[in-house]
Structure 1
Amino acid sequence: MAGTITRVGTCARRLAQVGIKAAGVTLSWSTSLAPIAQGLERTNFHGRTVSLRGGVGAAAGAVMAAIEVGRLTRDASAPALSAPRRGARVGLAATLATAAGGCAGLVDDLDAGAHDGDAPAKGLKGHLSALAQGRVTTGVLKIAVIGSGALIGGVLLARHRSAGAGGRPLAASAADAVSSAVVIASWANLLNLLDLRPGRALKAASIVSAPLLATPGADGEPTRLLAAGTLGVSLTALPEDLLENTMLGDTGANAVGALLGTSLACHPRPVVRAGAALGGVGLILISEKVSFSRVIADTPVLAALDGLGRRP
């Protein structure tokens, strides 16, 4: 009984540690940029001036969460100079994927469509069509950078699971790596697609990450810790986002989405990973034809949740 209580207490302490550090970095970066963030100001859909400093802060907090998870999940029994320790692969996967999402998003935010040509490229189809015509938009750059970060992260997560299983056939590891990469990349993009109204993307990240805190077992610890980081960033950035003082932009949405995607991709249950992959890809494809904002507005429960806490 005492041992169980001790384990639960340790688990809760580690979750709080990741969440608090992620929240602290998110808040400090966003606040410190306020006096010098004139170049980060944008006009939102209401015509109000908002700052992308919130997105930069969220990206910084997401990267810090990933780094902290890597530190906490290292296998202490491994030799000090072993490279890499098994547990560290999860943190490295999350760090690379999150940093790739944040950096690619920042380039897109700063470019503000300057390289899209006369007709701004919209959605996955629009950017791929522009590429087919010889125009390299920042959206195409995002696909390449986020995709690369997700693929490397997927390989690291597959190796993490393979090491835990005592080795697997190459084909099984390759399939695992690809499916994990799909989860990370699709959720990084999906959260960006949801960032069309104040607070929407951050609410979605919070709703999805909260149940992951209850992922059972020792193998579920990386998922729990990454979810705690996602929740810490999201809840910290949410108030100013709802008040329309700041916005996530591509910088914050892609980074937080990549962190959430990595949390889902390292879930110990294959059915959860498969569901996350199908759900992420499916919603992205649906978004090419259907407006999320219209569906939310036409669904009373979703509309109420979407507008909760938002500035009139």
Structure 2
Amino acid sequence: MIADRTSRSFLLSAALTRAGQAVLRKAAPGGRESWERKNHAGRTVGLYAGPASALGTAVAAARVHPGAGLAVLAAGACGAYDDVAGDHRRGFRAHLGALRDGEVTSGAVKLFGISAAGLVAGAVMKERVPDKVLAGVVIAGAAHLVNLLDVRPGRAAGAVLALGAPGLSRKGPAAELSAVAMGGAAAVLPDDLGERVMIGDTGAHALGAALGAAVVAGNRRAGLLVHAAAVVAAAVYGDRVSAWARAL
């Protein structure tokens, strides 16, 4: 029965994501041109995969736990804002530096928005205050981590599949949410690798938040502390993490 629920979560997330891509590709709001960008190699790619994976995984995650669905949707929305209004700055230090100078960048909005969403989700998913805070850090940090890995086609989605796989061995919501994250990633990976689409900040943050929610669902305080320390370290050494992802 548990395996059946996990499989259904994977299939639902994947199916919703694929359906979302198909709908957006057929009837892109604002016209097809507004949904096209040049990737790192100068190829024209579609942005359909980002919103599709964010919405697909959010709906599938909400079926498992409303707090997880909220975190995924909010992370995707903040990522979408950065995709649309983002500037040249990279890394939290640059955005926080700009904030100190009185400039509110898209990265700062994303940082505080996803952090707030993570804390709200953590508050819903855990009972004790320390666990709520750690859960919020894990969800927001996981969203940021996956975005750091999104430096080449397939890197972020592939990382979600690899990082989510161990969670399938757990029971209950942890396994189901791992399957949700993996389903969304699996749905976009072929087109992402083929450089037909890019998931952008929208998809990377949403998939990362789903992965973080799975970690939260499957761990108590000690495990949350370890994972929180890991994602904070990744944020601090973000440039090195991105460089490592490029080298893979």
- Give the TM-score category using the shorter length: over 0.9
Of the candidates 272, 275, 291, which is equivalent to residue 226 of structure 2? 275
Q: Which amino acid aligns with 2:194?
A: L
Q: Structure 1 CA distance, aligned partners of 2:95 and 2:210?
A: 24
Deviations 1:271-303, CA, capped at 9 Å, x for gaps: 432222111111121124x26335752xxxxx3
Q: How many residues align?
A: 244
Q: Alpha-carbon deviation of 1:256?
A: 0.6
* 1:92-131 → structure 2 map (5 Å cutoff): 92-113=66-87, 120-131=88-99
Whether 1:262 aligns to 2:236 is no
4+ residue stretches of structure 1 with deviation over 6 A? none
Cα RMSD of the aligned pairs, angstroms, is 1.4
Q: Which runs of 5+ in 1 are unaligned?
A: 1-9, 70-90, 114-119, 160-172, 298-302, 304-312
* 1:225-236 → structure 2 map (5 Å cutoff): 225-236=176-187
> Contact 1:186 / 1:281 at 8 angstroms: preserved in 2?
yes
**1:176 equivalent in structure 2:** 131
> Contact 2:151 / 2:245 at 8 angstroms: preserved in 1?
no
Whether 1:17 aligns to 2:8 is yes
> Contact 1:180 / 1:265 at 8 angstroms: preserved in 2?
yes
Q: Which amino acid aligns with 1:155?
A: A
Q: Which runs of 5+ in 2 are unaligned?
A: none
Q: Which amino acid aligns with 1:191?
A: V
**1:74 equivalent in structure 2:** none
Provide closer, same or farther for how the CA distance between residues 294 and 156 of structure 1 changes in structure 2, counting only shifts above 3 A.
closer
**2:122 equivalent in structure 1:** 154
**2:150 equivalent in structure 1:** 195
Q: Which amino acid aligns with 1:17?
A: R
Q: Secondary structure at the match of 2:237?
A: helix
Q: Structure 2 CA distance, aligned partners of 1:270 and 1:296?
A: 33
Q: Structure 1 CA distance, aligned partners of 2:124 and 2:245?
A: 37
Q: Structure 2 CA distance, aligned partners of 1:195 and 1:60?
A: 19
Q: Alpha-carbon deviation of 1:269?
A: 4.2
Of the candidates 39, 48, 56, which is equivalent to residue 44 of structure 1? 39
Q: Alpha-carbon deviation of 1:268?
A: 3.4
Whether 1:238 aligns to 2:189 is yes
Structure number with larger C-alpha Rg: 1
Q: Secondary structure at the match of 1:195?
A: coil
Q: Structure 2 CA distance, aligned partners of 1:291 and 1:271?
A: 24
Q: Which amino acid aligns with 1:65?
A: A
Whether 1:34 aligns to 2:25 is yes
> Contact 1:267 / 1:273 at 8 angstroms: preserved in 2?
no
Q: Secondary structure at the match of 1:213?
A: helix
Whether 1:53 aligns to 2:48 is yes
Q: Structure 1 CA distance, aligned partners of 2:157 and 2:245?
A: 18
